[in-house]
Structure formats: C-alpha cells, structure tokens
Structure 1
Amino acid sequence: MGGDERAVRLQPGLLAIALLGFTVAPYTVDGTNRIAITGLIGWLGWATWIVAYGVTLNL
C-alpha cells in the first residue's frame, strides 16, 4: 500500500516537470519559432481522439 501512495504523490510532480519542459523548450515549425505547448496541446488532442475512437470500437 505504501508504494501505491508514493506513486500517486509523484505523478503531479512529474506532470509539472513535463509541462514546464514542454513550455520552456522552443521548437521550429515552418522556419518560425513556436512555444512547445502548442505541440503538447496537439498531441493531447490526438491522444484524446485515439482513446475515444478505441473506446467507441470496443463498445
């Protein structure tokens, strides 16, 4: 049980670090510098769509 509680406590910290990394790191798209949060939002959108599609197929 103790291990499960520790894992739950670590997840918000890891998420914060991941979000900070994505927002700080710039990347280049079509020769212009963009903030990586745009890419993160795009990936989250695709992930949500794929999960929803998978759930729909399983129903």
Structure 2
Amino acid sequence: MDINLNTPVGDIVKENFRSSQVLDKYNIDFCCGGDVSIEDACKKSKTARVGGYGSIN
C-alpha cells in the first residue's frame, strides 16, 4: 500500500493491522475516526507526522 498524507488511517490499519500499535502510540484514532487522513489525524492529536511513515509501512 502506498501511504501518503491523504491516506485514511482506517485504510492503513485494514491493510496492516500491526500499524494500529504505531497509531495508538501517537494517540491517533483509527477506529471511530478511521475515515480521517493521516495528516488530519496527526494535526488533531497534535502529533508530528508519524515517523516519516516508515513506522507504519
């Protein structure tokens, strides 16, 4: 899966369930807020972008 700033966090977890651990670490809601882009989720949780996405690939 090609992950970019517009990729919904729910899609990331659907593709690779282990990515949920990384998103949890950064307090990013991927369940109820799963339709939000990774960029917006990071802004909402006041987190810098998640490890250059390398952590969730």
TM-score interval (norm. to shorter): under 0.3
- Quick check: which one's helix share is greater? 1
Structure whose alpha-carbon radius of gyration is higher? 1
- Quick check: which one's strand share is greater? 1
The two structures have a TM-score, normalised by structure 2, of: 0.23
